């Protein structure tokens, strides 16, 4: 089954932090109203924090732990809150220093990962893209999100990152929806070259390329947001407005189950190649 909501893992983490704050307050034998009075807050603030409706600032956590008599727990709680805050990051914030920087920032993750599981419902995965296809995608990002136009440099970084396909002991399980093959990015020439690239990389021993055909009875493998699982360490999820990082074991397990369902619907080898060739033919 697919994850129920792109940001559900973040909200679960907020709820867990709120529960921890509530337990600290109760252990201190303080009511929410009493704690709010001691901290100089509106009495509704404690409720919002405890129910995950708001995120506490560093100062909020220090005040909470101080008045509950456990100031030694502040550092750990602050680290937890900062981790939750960094899990859901808007693209504009990520891309503010430039697209090249955004591409370079994930290089260490790619280099240390051994097992990649990628599902794409939007575009061809970046590791399998041609320079022209990548250029078109990044130019669209510049136009839509007002990012710094350093597309040429960003393309060079992404192409260099593709070395992981042929070096080390990396393994790549890739599943894409057939409509990704049919969605023309750039123009027919750019798309034809990209589809030809897919045929070529599918012969690489380290890569397993599966395609879910149009019209497939979905069962549990519903179409969902694009995501990549890096070993069993984290999941990066592509949302329309933001980038979601999932690191909780339960959240990673959800995406792993979703990937298993999706790859079970895909076709491989000659059948996958036939779908790519049909998409090339349709370009005219």
* Contact criterion met (CB below 8 Å) for 17 and 81: yes
pTM, to two decimals: 0.77
Question: Residues 230-244: what's their mean pLDDT?
Answer: 88
Residue 241: count of CB within 10 angstroms of its CB: 9
Q: For the sheet containing 242-246, what is the strand order?
A: 88-90, 242-246, 234-238, 226-230, 115-120, 171-177, 207-212
Question: Mind listing the pLDDT tens digit for each residue in 186-230?
Answer: 999 999 999 999 999 999 999 999 999 999 999 889 999 999 999
Binned at pLDDT 50, 70 and 90, residue 147 comes out as confident
Question: Mind listing the pLDDT tens digit for each residue in 50-89?
Answer: 999 899 999 999 999 999 999 999 988 887 788 777 677 7
The predicted structure's pLDDT at residue 195: 98
Whether residue 48 is predicted with pLDDT greater than 50 in this model: the reply is yes
What is the rounded CA–CA span in Å between residue 79 and residue 8?
A: 20
Q: Which residues pair with 177 in a beta bridge?
A: 212
The predicted structure's pLDDT at residue 7: 55
């Amino acid at each position: 089954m697919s994850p129920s909501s792109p940001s559900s893992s973040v909200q679960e983490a907020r709820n867990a932090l709120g529960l921890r704050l509530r337990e600290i307050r109760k252990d201190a034998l303080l009511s929410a109203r009493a704690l709010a009075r001691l901290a100089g807050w509106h009495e509704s603030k404690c409720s919002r924090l405890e129910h995950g409706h708001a995120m506490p600032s560093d100062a909020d956590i220090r005040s909470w732990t101080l008045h509950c008599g456990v100031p030694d727990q502040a550092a750990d709680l602050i680290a937890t809150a900062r981790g939750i805050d960094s899990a859901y990051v808007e693209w504009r914030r990520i891309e503010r220093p430039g697209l090249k920087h955004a591409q370079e920032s994930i290089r260490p993750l790619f280099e240390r990962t051994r097992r990649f599981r990628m599902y794409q419902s939007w575009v061809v995965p970046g590791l399998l893209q041609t320079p022209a296809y990548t250029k078109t995608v990044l130019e669209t990002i510049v136009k839509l999100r007002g990012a710094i136009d350093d597309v040429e440099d960003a393309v060079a970084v992404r192409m260099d990152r593709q070395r992981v396909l042929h070096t080390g002991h990396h393994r790549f399980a890739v599943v894409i929806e057939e409509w990704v093959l049919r969605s023309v990015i750039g123009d027919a020439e750019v798309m034809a070259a990209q589809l030809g690239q897919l045929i070529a990389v599918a012969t690489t021993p380290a890569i397993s390329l599966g395609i879910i055909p149009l019209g497939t009875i979905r069962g549990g493998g519903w179409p969902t947001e694009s995501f990549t699982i890096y070993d069993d360490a984290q999941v990066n999820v592509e949302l329309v407005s933001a980038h979601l990082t999932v690191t909780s074991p339960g959240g990673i397990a959800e995406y792993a189950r979703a990937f298993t369902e999706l790859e079970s619907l895909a076709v491989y080898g000659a059948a996958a190649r036939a779908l790519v060739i049909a998409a090339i033919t349709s370009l005219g």
